[in-house]
Chain A
Amino acid sequence: MAKGIREIKRQIKSKQNTRQITKAMEMVAASKLRRSQQSAEAARPYADKIKEVIANIAAGTQGVTHPMLQKREIRKTGYLVITSDRGLAGGYNNNLLRMLMQTIQANHSSKDEYSLFVIGRKGRDFFRKREMPIVEEVTGLPDAPTFQDIKSIARASVSNFENGAYDELYLVYNQFQSVISQVPVIKQLLPLDQVEEQGDGPSAQYEYEPSAEGVLDVLLPRYAETLIYSALLEGKASEFGARMTAMGNATRNANEMINSLKLQHNRARQAAITQEISEIVAGANAL
C-alpha cells in the first residue's frame, strides 16, 4: 500500500509541474493578446484613411479603371495563408487549414490551379508534407510584427496579381471575434471590388497630382498591403486568444486531476494508518 501512495504522490507532482507551465503560458498569451490588440487598433487609422481616399476617387471621378479593380477570367488562384509559428494554441491552425483544404478540394482539380503564400511555420510544414505549391513563405515573425516584416510577402503577392501570375487572391486567416472565439475565414482580397462609400459621400473634391489614375496606381497596391497587414495583426491576436483559452482549459484540467489524485492519496494514507492501528491492536491482544 505504501508503494501506491508514493506512486500517487509522484503523479501529483508531475501534474503540478504541468499546471505551472500551462498557467504561465496562459498569462503570457494574455499579455501578448493585449499588445496585439493595441497594434491592431493602431493600424486602423492608416487603413481607414487609405480606404477613404480611394472611395473618394472612385466616387469623384467617373470611369476610372485600374487592373486591380477589374475582374478577369480565373485561371489561377492565389491564397495567402496566415498561420502561427508555434503550436499549443488549441484548434487555431487545424481549423484554418482544414477549411482551406476543403475549399481547395472543392474548387481546384490540380495543383496548377492555385499557389500558396504562407506565413507561419505550422502552415508551411503542413503544405510541404502534402507537396502543395508554395510560392513564398515567411516564418519566425515577431509577436508584434511591424509593417516592414511583412512588406516583402505583401508586395510579392500583390505584384504577382498585377503581372498576371494569378487572377484572384484570397486571404485565409483567423478572424478575431473574442478571446474565446476565433473564426477561420477566406476573404477575397484581389481584385478589390468592395471599396464602398462610407456614410456621407465624398468629403471634398480633391485635386490629384499628377492625375486621379496616377494616384490610384500608387494607392491601390498600398491599400492591398494594408489589408494584408491588418489581417496578419488580427491573426496574431487570434493566435494569442486561442492559446490563452487552450492553456486556461489545460490549467483547469490539471487542477481537476490534482484534486482527484489528492483525494486518492488521502484515502490510501488513511487506509494505511487504519491498517497499522488494527495490526498493533491485534498484536497487543495476542499478548
Chain B
Amino acid sequence: MSTVLLEIVTPERIVYSEPVNMVSVRGAEGELGILPNHIPLVTPLRVAPVRIKSEGQEVYIAVGGGFLEVRKDKITILAESAEKPTEIDVDRARAAKERAEKRLQSRQQEVDFRRAEIALQKALTRLDVSQRS
C-alpha cells in the first residue's frame, strides 16, 4: 500500500511523524479523508480526533484545533495541542468536561460561552481518543 509522511506539530514539539496509509480529519467544512497523492490543500481543523491508518492499524490522536496542510510528499497538521492516547490525562479531561458543562449551563457572556464550548469540545475529544485505544 502506498504511504505518505504525516507530521503532527505543536508549538512545543513534534507529536507524530510517520508514514501513513490514510488520515481522516474534521476540517472547517466537514470530514476529510486524505490518501496519498492528494492535491495540495490547506484547511483549518476543528477540535476533533484525528484518525490515522498505517499498516493495517488505526491510531487516534486528540487534536485541539489548528491546520492541515497537504503537499505532494507530506501531510502536516499544525495543532495548538495534540496528544496520543497514552499521553492523555483522563481525570483532567473529565474534570475539564464537567467544568465546561457547568459554565455552559450558567450562560454568562457570549465570549465565555464560546470559550466553554471549545473547552468542552477539547475535553470530549480527549476522552473519546483515550477510550478508543
Contacts and interface: CB of A to CB of B under 8 A. Distances in A.
Interface of A: 39, 42-43, 45-47, 49-50, 53, 56-57, 146-148, 151, 203-210, 214-215, 218-219, 222, 226, 229
B13 interface: yes
A151 B80 CA distance: 10
A57 B40 CA distance: 12
B10 A147 contact: yes
A46 B69 contact: no
24 contacts: A42-B13, A42-B14, A43-B12, A46-B9, A47-B11, A49-B9, A49-B69, A147-B11, A147-B81, A204-B40, A204-B71, A204-B72, A205-B40, A206-B42, A207-B39, A207-B40, A207-B41, A208-B43, A214-B44, A215-B44, A218-B44, A218-B67, A219-B44, A229-B11
A35 B67 CA distance: 28
Interface in B22-67: 27-29, 39-44, 66-67
B76 interface: yes
B7 to A, nearest CB: 8
Given A45-B14, A204-B71, A50 B43 contact: no
B78 interface: yes
A222 B65 CA distance: 11
Given A43-B12, A222-B66, 13 more contacts: A42-B12, A45-B9, A46-B9, A46-B11, A49-B9, A50-B78, A53-B69, A205-B40, A206-B69, A208-B43, A209-B28, A218-B44, A219-B44
Contacts of B42: 53, 56-57, 206-209, 215
Interface of B: 9-14, 27-29, 39-44, 66-67, 69, 71-72, 76, 78, 80-81
Contact of B28 (A53, A146, A214, A229): A214
Does more than half of chain A's interface fall in helix, strand or loop, or is it mixed? Answer: helix
A46 B40 contact: no
Nearest to A39: B12
A143 to B, nearest CB: 14
Given A53-B67, A204-B72, A43 B11 contact: yes
Contact of A46 (B41, B43, B71, B78): B78
B32 to A, nearest CB: 8
Contacts of B11: 43, 46-47, 147, 226, 229
A11 B42 CA distance: 68
A147 B80 contact: yes
